[in-house]
């Protein structure tokens, strides 16, 4: 071996030790590794920053934007509402989520299936007062296993198929992977159902200042519009359908004003004074097509939500709002903002918003152009609260994000465009049509993860550029020649699984597949089993957050540490090796 080859391997080993140690944050560790590689000369200055243009960086960033838009659409919430009545325990919800992601990954790219289902995990976790980390890593692992079932599920399968065509003149077809992949998916789902307890219970994403707020008793005013599912429904049925997440303090009608009885039938045009948490109020108003009082719908439509937003603020003791009502102040005409919700500590409000006399200490939600809201708050004498995400007063584009994501995944499945292009285009279209505000998109992207990926890609690629990967491949062939046939297949599977964290899975296949096929030919065996072992190994990185974009995607939102992946993933890797080898040999005989 040459000195650069030794240095490349030593740098990667040292980097892994820093990750496991956890002394530095993961993005800082990646930067350290890149700087060391530059100093040692194993990464050239010209190649140092090429990782930031790599497809994986684009895919992960775009997937986070798409996932945020899907979550904001409310479609997942409606599906969960139907599901949550039957599936209430964490273990049962875990089975539903992992199975959904796993089997969806057979039909679409696994990263797309995971991005689509992540909002469901957050909603279920919130409903159970649990950490999303209980669901996210098992879902990522299920998506990796599900991708093994078809040609389009994951990139290694496509590359292996191409290698087989070059060698034998016939590629693997769409469902040639299914027998082995389906067996591993079923085994993996059973394992994840019980083994999720291996994950530390205290893992949570880094809290924001908004998480410290515990303001629940908001009151808002909404009108039942034509076409609302609440029409002709009794008040009792309305509250039951929404699982009593909100209350109706008053029902205002021409012939009625006061607290409604349970048997009162709701009509179009009724004004409801609703109380509850902001998220619950938003779900009810959006789901039942209620018209929020004071909402500037025309301005919101013109700007497609990119400029109109909401902000929480507390009424200061010297505020001009103290002792006044919103109706008397005419906030929209004079200040260009709307009062859409009020919260008062220790008191249940029941009047209309325009008639409620504000006090110092009231927490209010104002809607208006984001570029003038801070100025208007200062003018009104209100103090903005720590930022947290509020969707009350923001128009939803319900099915649009789902449709955009579906088109992107269909385009990749048909091979029309690469995954990175499809996902980047989908994220761009989502922003253009206003399905997600640009401000929210930038906030939802996990920038430390993208920095980590961009810095690590050239470091990992130094194995190839220095020739260290070829030296390792030679050692592998020498060892495999002394093993029985099943041992040689298992070794290829283990080697591909071990290399994937350092190279991306596509690069692993490009390095390992020709070696595996050549080795099979030297021994006089059919290459199919060895190629299949390469695809399975390259698609099953359960040990690190950096080997596959699915693992990377859940790293930040789950609040995981580097070593958490091995805690749950090492036993699963062993299961794949022990059961995957006989499955491969059964369906793809060596002779």
Segment 375-395, tens digit of pLDDT = 888 889 888 875 555 556 555
Q: Which residues pair with 251 in a beta bridge?
A: 258, 272
CATH of domain 308-384: 3.30.70.1450
CB 536 within 8 A of CB 180: yes
The domain spans of the chain are 6-205+419-587, 210-292, 308-384
Q: Which CATH number fits domain 210-292: 3.40.50.2300, 3.40.630.30, 3.30.70.1450, 3.40.50.970?
A: 3.30.70.1450
List Cα–Cα distances, 206 to 239, 310, 439, in angstroms. Answer: 34, 23, 20
CB 590 within 8 A of CB 525: yes
Taking Cα atoms as reference points, which of 322, 313, 328 lies closest to residue 378? 313
Virtual torsion, Cα 187, 191, 193, 198, nearest 10 deg: -160
List Cα–Cα distances, 387 to 208, 280, 300, 443, in angstroms. Answer: 8, 18, 21, 11
CB 342 within 8 A of CB 363: yes
308-384 matches 210-292 in CATH topology? yes
Task: Give the angle 271-274-277 at the CA atoms, nearest 5°.
Answer: 155
pLDDT in tens, 545-559: 877 778 888 888 888
Taking Cα atoms as reference points, which of 355, 390, 349 lies closest to residue 373? 390
Q: How far is Cα 151 from Cα 109, in angstroms, rounded to an integer?
A: 10
Q: How far is Cα 203 from Cα 133, in angstroms, rounded to an integer?
A: 6
Mean pLDDT of the chain: 82
Confidence at residue 457, expressed as pLDDT on a 0 to 100 scale: 81
Alpha-carbon 286 to chain mean position: 22
Report residue 416 as tokens: 């029309």
**What SS3 class is residue 220?**
strand
Per-residue pLDDT of the chain (591 residues; tens, 9 = 90+): 899 989 988 988 888 778 767 678 778 888 999 999 999 999 999 999 998 888 778 887 887 788 778 767 766 556 656 665 677 788 888 998 999 889 888 766 777 778 778 877 887 887 777 888 999 999 999 999 998 998 767 778 877 887 788 778 888 877 899 999 999 999 999 999 999 989 887 777 655 444 544 555 788 888 998 889 999 999 999 998 887 888 898 898 876 777 788 999 999 999 998 988 777 787 788 778 888 775 544 544 444 444 677 788 889 888 989 998 878 888 878 888 888 888 887 787 888 888 889 998 888 888 888 778 888 888 898 888 755 555 565 555 567 888 888 888 788 767 788 878 888 999 999 999 888 888 778 877 878 878 887 888 888 778 778 888 777 767 767 777 778 888 989 999 998 898 787 655 766 776 677 777 777 777 778 889 999 999 999 889 898 887 777 888 888 888 888 889 999 999 999 999 999 999 999 999 987
Residue 311, φ and ψ in degrees, nearest 5: -145, 145
Instruction: Compute how many other C-beta atoms are within 10 angstroms of the C-beta atom of residue 229.
Output: 12
Please tell me the number of Cα atoms within 13 Å of 478 on its side-chain side. 6
What are the helix and strand counts (H, E) for the chain? 25, 9
Q: pTM, whole model, 2 decimals?
A: 0.64
Confidence at residue 78, expressed as pLDDT on a 0 to 100 scale: 65
Q: How far is Cα 64 from Cα 119, in angstroms, rounded to an integer?
A: 10
Enter the DSSP assignment of 355: G
Q: How far is Cα 547 from Cα 556, in angstroms, rounded to an integer?
A: 15
Report residue 207 as tokens: 């809290």
Count of positions (residues) in the chain: 591
Virtual torsion, Cα 482, 487, 489, 494, nearest 10 deg: -100
Q: How far is Cα 170 from Cα 168, in angstroms, rounded to an integer?
A: 5
Confidence at residue 59, expressed as pLDDT on a 0 to 100 scale: 80
Confidence at residue 394, expressed as pLDDT on a 0 to 100 scale: 55
Extended strands (E) in 305-423: 308-315, 338-343, 363-369, 382-384
pLDDT in tens, 325-363: 878 888 878 888 888 888 887 787 888 888 889 998 888
List Cα–Cα distances, 236 to 35, 245, 247, in angstroms. Answer: 64, 13, 10
Q: How far is Cα 114 from Cα 109, in angstroms, rounded to an integer?
A: 9
Residue 312, φ and ψ in degrees, nearest 5: -95, 140
């Amino acid at each position: 071996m040459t000195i650069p080859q030794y240095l490349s391997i030593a740098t990667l080993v040292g980097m892994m030790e820093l990750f496991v140690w956890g002394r530095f944050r993961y993005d800082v560790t990646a930067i350290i590794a890149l700087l060391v590689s530059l100093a040692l000369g194993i990464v050239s200055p010209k190649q140092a920053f090429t990782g930031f243009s790599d497809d994986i960086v684009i895919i992960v960033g775009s997937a986070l934007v798409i996932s945020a838009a899907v979550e904001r659409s409310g479609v997942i919430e409606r599906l969960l509402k139907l599901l949550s009545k039957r599936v209430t325990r964490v273990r049962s919800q875990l089975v539903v989520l992992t199975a959904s992601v796993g089997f969806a990954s057979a039909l679409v790219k696994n990263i797309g299936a995971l991005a689509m289902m992540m909002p469901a995990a957050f909603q279920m976790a919130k409903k159970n007062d649990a950490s999303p980390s209980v669901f996210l890593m098992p879902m990522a692992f299920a998506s990796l296993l599900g991708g093994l079932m078809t040609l389009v599920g994951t990139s290694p399968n496509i590359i292996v198929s191409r290698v087989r065509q070059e060698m034998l003149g016939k590629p693997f077809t769409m469902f040639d992977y299914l027998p082995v992949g389906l067996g591993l998916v079923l085994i993996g789902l059973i394992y994840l159902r019980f083994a999720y307890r291996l994950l530390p219970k205290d893992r949570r994403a880094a809290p924001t200042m908004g998480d410290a707020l515990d303001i629940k008793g908001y009151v808002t005013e909404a009108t039942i519009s034509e076409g609302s599912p609440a029409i002709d429904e009794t008040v009792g049925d309305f509250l039951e359908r929404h699982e009593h997440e909100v209350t109706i303090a008053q029902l205002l009608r021409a012939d009625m004003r006061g607290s409604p009885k349970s048997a009162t039938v709701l009509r179009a045009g009724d004004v409801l004074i609703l109380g509850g948490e902001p998220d619950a109020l938003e779900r009810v108003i959006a789901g039942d097509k209620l018209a929020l009082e004071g909402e500037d719908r025309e301005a919101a439509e013109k700007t497609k939500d990119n400029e109109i937003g909401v902000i929480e603020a507390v009424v200061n003791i010297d505020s001009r709002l103290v002792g006044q009502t919103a109706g008397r102040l005419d906030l929209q005409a004079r200040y260009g903002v709307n009062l859409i919700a009020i919260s008062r500590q220790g008191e249940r409000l029941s009047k209309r918003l325009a008639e409620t006399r504000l006090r110092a200490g009231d927490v209010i939600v104002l809607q208006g152009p984001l570029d003038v809201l801070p100025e208007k708050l200062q003018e009104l004498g209100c103090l903005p609260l720590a930022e947290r995400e509020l969707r009350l007063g923001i128009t939803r584009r319900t099915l649009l994000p789902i449709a955009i994501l579906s088109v992107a995944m269909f385009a990749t499945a048909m091979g029309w465009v690469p995954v990175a292009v499809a996902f980047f285009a989908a994220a761009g279209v989502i922003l253009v049509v206003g399905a997600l505000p640009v401000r929210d998109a930038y906030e939802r992207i996990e920038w430390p993860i993208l920095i980590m990926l961009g810095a690590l890609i050239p470091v990992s690629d130094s194995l190839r550029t220095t020739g260290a990967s070829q030296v390792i491949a030679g050692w592998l062939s020498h060892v495999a020649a002394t093993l029985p046939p099943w041992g040689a297949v298992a070794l290829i599977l283990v080697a591909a699984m071990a290399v994937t964290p350092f190279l991306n899975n596509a690069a692993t296949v490009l390095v390992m597949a020709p070696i595996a096929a050549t080795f099979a030919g030297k021994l006089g065996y059919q290459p199919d089993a060895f190629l299949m072992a390469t695809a399975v190994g390259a698609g099953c990185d359960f040990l690190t957050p950096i080997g596959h974009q699915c693992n990377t995607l859940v790293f930040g939102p789950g609040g995981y540490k580097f070593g958490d992946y091995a805690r749950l993933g090492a036993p699963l890797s062993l299961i794949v090796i022990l059961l995957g080898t006989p499955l491969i040999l059964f369906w793809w005989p060596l002779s």
